[in-house]
């Protein structure tokens, strides 16, 4: 399905974007925040890749491997969301302190 391919490309692009921002960041909470966002993007990429494989091939092996990919991707998105919610207030506070010092 072409729509899934577009979403797969976008999610991988966001993963690369957030990893580059992670490497360039100097603040620790911002780094954790960006790591959580990249984890969500990578999880979405893996899950969508598994869903896409379900449409391309209809074999038993594909169903097993795709279900593993979907489960791993969903778990990564879930863990990334939890980390995102945890680190967002701390990252905002850190950015406000850095703005006041400048």
- Range of the structural domain that residue 31 is part of: 2-101
- DSSP letters, 34-48, are HHHHHHHHHHHHHHH
Whether this model's pTM surpasses 0.95: no
The number of folded domains in the chain is 1
> In this model, does residue 6 exceed pLDDT 80?
yes
pLDDT tens string 30-66: 999 999 999 999 999 999 999 999 989 889 999 999 9
Closest to 40 in 3D by CA, of 88, 95, 89, 1: 88
């Amino acid at each position: 399905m072409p729509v899934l391919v577009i979403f797969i490309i976008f999610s991988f692009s966001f993963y690369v974007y957030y990893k580059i921002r992670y490497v360039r960041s100097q603040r620790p909470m911002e780094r954790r925040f960006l790591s959580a966002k990249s984890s969500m993007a990578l999880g979405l990429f893996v899950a969508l890749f598994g869903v896409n494989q379900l449409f391309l091939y209809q074999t038993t092996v594909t169903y097993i491997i795709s279900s593993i990919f979907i489960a791993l991707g969903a778990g990564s998105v879930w863990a990334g969301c939890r980390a995102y919610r945890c680190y967002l207030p701390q990252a905002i506070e850190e950015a406000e302190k850095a703005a006041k010092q400048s």
